[in-house]
């Protein structure tokens, strides 16, 4: 819990941009999750730095919650402050074949920006849900291309808010579905992304191809958190789960998608516990049948009962 004095200081700093005991199910794509002790949406870099400094002073943990994809919050809720960068959405084209985008920019706005201006390089990410900060933290992508291929530099705020750094690609260590090397609690503010000029019609055609592929293979019309498991070496998590006969498997209102077995969907009233039970069953059955240990791609946050 957040001490009363810390709550008062948070209100003084952020005003209406902070709320307490907020149900996270409203802010996660799977529509599950218990309350966050606090949720804050700082309006600029100064407020964000002040928020991080305040958290450091009181020893309050903080996390950045993007668009809520690849995230499950347990029903018991999550400690500390969840930070939403909804005011950090600026995108700017630069003359050196790059664009600077803030971490809160949505996948839709990035795709639209590139499509209108004829900027090629990010088409592979069309339809990958979330915000730029989440894309980078997860090294989002497809088998042929990931964010690691286009990030030239990151602008990062230190965990206490005291220092802002520009880290070149050579100092970043991207891994499969992750980014290593940043101090825990650091906040990605923006990224410099490599693009190239192309005819808008060419960019549009590739964007449409990627969107069509996702629509054919992924359950986009129901709440999900995106891919649940990382693909194991030389294999695909979805195919292993399907081969285990688990497509359509249910626990409460959580269901393994019949369209893509590496997606768990919320049929209406699922709890985080329902989802976690399905994750546990899929891991156990696949491990028993194949000896392969599936590793979650989704981040699981919160208190355990």
Give the chain's domains with CATH numbers: 4-83 (3.30.43.10), 91-217 (3.30.465.10), 237-296 (3.90.78.10)
State residue 1's pLDDT score: 86
Question: pLDDT band at residue 158, thresholds of 50, 70 and 90?
Answer: very high
Catalytic residue among 190, 227, 257, 271: 227
158 is catalytic: no
Query: Would you call 31 a catalytic residue per the annotation?
Result: no
Tell me the average pLDDT across 254-270. Answer: 96
Provide mean pLDDT across the span 161-189: 96
Residue 77 falls in which region: left (phi positive, over 0), alpha (psi -120 to 50) or beta: left
The reported pLDDT for the residue numbered 200 is: 95
Sole residue written with tokens 């990605």: 188
pLDDT mean over 99-118: 95
- Residue 143 confidence class, pLDDT cut points 50, 70, 90: confident
How far is the C-alpha of 165 from the C-alpha of 154, rounded, in Å? 8
Which burial class, exposed, middle or buried, applies to 259 when counting CB atoms under 10 A from its CB (0-12, 13-18, 19+)?
A: middle
Catalytically annotated residue among 177, 255, 257, 283: 177
211 C-beta neighbours (distance < 10 Å), count: 15
Considering 79, 123, 155, 297, which one is annotated as catalytic? 297
Q: Is 177:168 a contact under the CB 8 Å cutoff?
A: no
Tell me the mean pLDDT in the region 269-284: 97
User: Is the pLDDT at 236 greater than 90, yes or no?
Assistant: yes
Note if 170 is an active site residue: no
- Environment class of 96 (CB within 10 Å of its CB; exposed 0-12, middle 13-18, buried 19+): exposed
Between 304 and 176, residue with greater pLDDT: 176
Mean pLDDT of 266-283: 97
């Amino acid at each position: 819990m957040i001490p009363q004095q810390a709550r008062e200081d948070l209100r003084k700093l952020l005003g209406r941009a902070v709320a307490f005991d907020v149900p996270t199910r409203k802010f996660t794509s799977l529509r599950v999750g218990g309350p966050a002790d606090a949720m804050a949406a700082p309006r600029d870099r100064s407020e964000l730095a002040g928020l991080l400094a305040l958290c450091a002073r009181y020893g309050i943990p903080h996390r950045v919650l993007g668009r809520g994809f690849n995230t499950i919050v347990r029903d018991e809720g999550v400690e500390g402050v969840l930070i939403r960068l909804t005011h950090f959405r600026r995108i700017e084209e630069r003359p050196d074949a790059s664009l600077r985008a803030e971490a809160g920019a949505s996948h839709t706005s990035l795709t639209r920006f590139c499509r209108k201006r004829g900027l090629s390089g990010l088409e592979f990410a069309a339809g990958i849900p979330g915000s730029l900060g989440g894309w980078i933290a997860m090294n989002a992508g497809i088998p042929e291309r990931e964010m690691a291929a286009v990030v030239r530099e990151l602008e990062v705020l230190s965990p206490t808010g005291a220092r802002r750094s520009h880290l070149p690609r050579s100092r970043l260590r991207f891994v499969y579905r992750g980014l290593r090397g940043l101090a825990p609690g650091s906040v990605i503010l923006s990224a410099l992304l490599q693009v190239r000029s192309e005819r808008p019609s060419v960019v549009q055609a590739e964007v449409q191809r990627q969107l069509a592929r996702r629509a054919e293979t992924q359950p986009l019309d129901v709440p999900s958190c995106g891919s649940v498991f990382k693909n194991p070496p030389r294999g695909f998590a979805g195919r292993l789960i399907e081969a285990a006969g688990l497509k359509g498997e249910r626990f409460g209102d959580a269901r393994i998608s019949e369209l893509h077995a590496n997606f768990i969907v919320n049929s209406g009233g699922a709890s985080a516990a329902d989802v976690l039970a399905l994750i546990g069953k899929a891991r156990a059955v696949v491990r028993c049948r194949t000896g392969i240990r599936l590793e979650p791609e989704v981040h699981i946050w919160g208190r355990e009962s």
